[in-house]
Structure 1
Amino acid sequence: MRVLFAGLSEKSHLYCMVPLAWALTAAGHEVRMASTPALTDVITGTGLAAAPVGRDHGVHEAMAQARGSQDEEFANWSRLGPGEVDWPSLRSRYEISVPYGFALYNDPVIDDTAALAQSWKPHLVVCDPLAYAGAIAARVSGAVDVRLLWSADVYGRARRTYVDLMSQVPPDERVDPLADWLDKRGAPFGVSCDEELINGHYTIDTLPPSLRLPSALQELSMRYVPYNGAAVWWDWLREAPERPRVCVTFGRSNAEAYGGDYVSVPEVLGALAGLDIEVVAALPPEQRAALGDIPANARAVEGVALDTLLPSCSAIIHHGGWGTYSTALVHAVPQLALSTKVADLEWRGQSLERAGAGIFAHHSEVTADLVLRHTRQILDDPGFASAARRLGDESAAMPSPRDMVATLEQLVAER
């Protein structure tokens, strides 16, 4: 098969696609990763073949100028199910999100991605759920269109809610910014919008089933396999720690896109200074260099992949990002998520609480006392570790990316 991956031009989103892309490559299929020129070196660094398309977006510049936007109501997609939102509110969400979110990411690459699909004719297109350029490319080439989620499927649920609410209002009030935009952008390629274009033929979900949103879409389960880029299994990670080890990390995305983390690493380390634990702060090089003095029970490290660190940890304190959250799930590590409300972060944090495997707090609530209290709670109550193991076992029972290859081959053959 010829397989085209179409993701958003974000490194963290790309990394979610790498294990499946490599499984398809190892099975003998031709795989190309379509993204903006800015991600070319990142893609080739994974060993996969990059297909640069379009031009780089300006989303990060807009984000840095609006740090508070992560907590604006329009950015929170966690409470948009049936009965949770009314028509005016959800319509307003789309009226803002289409031009200032979806289009900013997709408009720079739609034409080139569609043209690439017309000429190369992939049999399968694997899309980021917000990479509508990939959906248009799949339609243009007649390919099977598969969404690969990097979140709980809050966007799919919101779309179903939107269609249902729209059917209940008078015809002259029925506006659809998403469909109108996709109609306009797909028109040069003979593509018009319908719900299949928006939702794809199939959706691959890597969340354990007990943490998923209900869905009417055709879902495929695949185990999350962590990919952290370049990784070294350092010698100090090869022996069990003498005390409970707690990882503290806030990733790179907020610092790179929004100009800084939303929670202070020194404040968190200070809050944990009196505990008889080993704290490992996994930081980007620039954050580690700026850290200054740290408590005696802590070490700050750079260049440590979470996939190599978390198997030795009793807990993790983090920002709620998908890769960190999912890596902790597969390694059965209880989590304290100190997060914003953008995308699905609130829903995922609260679902982790409901499962008993972690605690969610909004970053505005974070104090040294809160961090200390919740960390003690997670470490002292064995129920958190037990629930995390249940989720880890649930993840391990899901099909691997290698297993998914056979499923995708069959779906393409059937179509």
Structure 2
Amino acid sequence: MRVLFAGLPEKSHVYTMVPLAWALTAAGHEVLMANAPSLTEVVTGAGLVAAPVGSDHDLHRDMAVARDSQDADVANWSHLGYGDIDHAGLVARYRISVPYGFARYNDPILDDLVALARDWRPDLVVRDPIAYAGGIAARACGAAHARLLWCADVYGQARATFVELARDMPEEQRVDPLADWIDERGRPYGVRCDEELLNGQFTLDTLPPSLRPASDLRTVSVRYIPYNGRAVREQWLREEPKRPRVCVTLGRTNTEAYGGDYVAVPDILRSLSRLDAEIVAALLPEQTDRLGELPANVRAVSGVALSTLLPSCAAVVHHGGWGTFSTALVNAVPQLALSTLVADQELRGRSLEEAGAGFFLHHSESDPDRVADLARRLLDDPSHAAAARRLRDESAAMPSPYDIVPDLADLVAGD
């Protein structure tokens, strides 16, 4: 079987795809990772075959200028279930999200991706949930087509809501900006938009079922396997911590794409240092450079893979990103997310809070003393650790990427 991965042109999204790509390769299938040229070294660094397509997007330039866009209503996809929004609200959302988000990610790679798919002839295309170019390419070459989620399936949920609400609208009001864009971009290849193209023939979901939004889509559960790129198990991580270890990490995206962090890291570290704990700030070099002198129980490190650090931690304070959230989840680490509202981050944070395995705070509420108080509660109240273990066990019961490879082959053969 030939499998073409069509990722969103963002490093963290490619990282989510790597374990499944490894599993397919190890099982003897041919794998090609298509993405914008800037992601080529990320793919080859993972030991996979890269296929650069099209050109790089320029979204990061605008993101850094419009930092507040992460908290705009249109960026928050956490409240789009049936009954949460009306038809006009979803139309308005698509009217903004398509040209300013989806199209700017997809248009630069689409034509070259279709040409690659028609030349290489994959049996299966696995794409990012908003890499709609992958769906067009799959349809254009006759391949089966699946989505691999890096989020709770808020995009599928929003689409289901839209379809349900549109049924009750007069014909003249059934506008669909998302379908119109897909039709326009797919027309040269004989591709028209339909719900299967938007949602895939099946969805690969790594969230434990108890944390997922309701969905009628065909779903294949697969365990999340952390991949952080280059990883070294440092000498100090081989030693048992003498006090509970709390990791503070803010990921890459806010610094690299949005021009900086949304919380006062030095102030938070000083407040956390009052806990009877070892604080490890796993940050980018440009973040650690701004910390100044640190309290004795605070260690700042750069380049430490979370998959090597979090197994030794009793709690983690982070920015709400998917990789950090999921790596903490599969390691049973209670979490405090200091997040923006972009994509599904509020939904995931609230779901984790409802499960008892952590807390969610909007970054504007992240007063250092409040952060320290919530971190103390994560350490002192054993119910949070117990809830985190329940979610870890739920995740561990899901099949691994390697386990589902035969199922993928069967699904492709059946389609």
TM-score by length of 1: 0.99
Partners of 1:295 and 1:118 lie apart in 2 by 58
Partners of 2:273 and 2:394 lie apart in 1 by 34
What amino acid sits opposite 2:126 in the alignment? Answer: V
The equivalent of 2:337 in structure 1 is 337
Partners of 2:359 and 2:215 lie apart in 1 by 25
The equivalent of 2:364 in structure 1 is 364
Matches within 5 A, 1:43-54: 43-54=43-54
The equivalent of 1:262 in structure 2 is 262
What amino acid sits opposite 2:130 in the alignment? Answer: L
Secondary structure at the aligned position of 2:108 is classed as coil
What amino acid sits opposite 1:246 in the alignment? Answer: V
Please report how far the alpha carbon of residue 170 of structure 1 lies from its aligned counterpart in structure 2 after TM superposition. Answer: 1.4
The equivalent of 1:252 in structure 2 is 252
Matches within 5 A, 1:335-414: 335-414=335-414
Matches within 5 A, 1:54-203: 54-203=54-203
Please report how far the alpha carbon of residue 168 of structure 1 lies from its aligned counterpart in structure 2 after TM superposition. Answer: 1.2
Please report how far the alpha carbon of residue 414 of structure 1 lies from its aligned counterpart in structure 2 after TM superposition. Answer: 2.0
Deviation per residue, 1:177-196 (Å, 9 max, x gap): 00000001001100000000
Matches within 5 A, 1:185-224: 185-224=185-224
Could you list the runs of 4 or more consecutive aligned residues of structure 1 that deviate by over 2 angstroms after TM superposition? Answer: none
Partners of 1:406 and 1:235 lie apart in 2 by 39
Question: Aligned residue pairs: how many?
Answer: 415
Please report how far the alpha carbon of residue 387 of structure 1 lies from its aligned counterpart in structure 2 after TM superposition. Answer: 0.1
Partners of 1:262 and 1:119 lie apart in 2 by 44
TM-score by length of 2: 0.99
Deviation per residue, 1:80-111 (Å, 9 max, x gap): 00100112211100110000000000000111
Please report how far the alpha carbon of residue 18 of structure 1 lies from its aligned counterpart in structure 2 after TM superposition. Answer: 0.2
Partners of 1:182 and 1:275 lie apart in 2 by 53
Unaligned runs of 5+ in 1: none
Deviation per residue, 1:18-73 (Å, 9 max, x gap): 00001111111111110011111111111111100001101111111100000000
Bigger drift between 176-185 and 365-374 goes to: 365-374
Q: Answer yes or no: is 1:306 the counterpart of 2:290.
A: no
Partners of 2:270 and 2:174 lie apart in 1 by 53
Deviation per residue, 1:259-282 (Å, 9 max, x gap): 001112111101112111000000
Secondary structure at the aligned position of 1:4 is classed as strand
Please report how far the alpha carbon of residue 291 of structure 1 lies from its aligned counterpart in structure 2 after TM superposition. Answer: 1.9
Partners of 1:238 and 1:397 lie apart in 2 by 27
Secondary structure at the aligned position of 1:15 is classed as helix
Please report how far the alpha carbon of residue 375 of structure 1 lies from its aligned counterpart in structure 2 after TM superposition. Answer: 0.8
Please report how far the alpha carbon of residue 376 of structure 1 lies from its aligned counterpart in structure 2 after TM superposition. Answer: 1.1
Secondary structure at the aligned position of 1:353 is classed as helix
Q: Answer yes or no: is 1:29 the counterpart of 2:26.
A: no
Partners of 1:36 and 1:312 lie apart in 2 by 36
Deviation per residue, 1:272-328 (Å, 9 max, x gap): 121110000001122222321111110000111000001100000000000000000
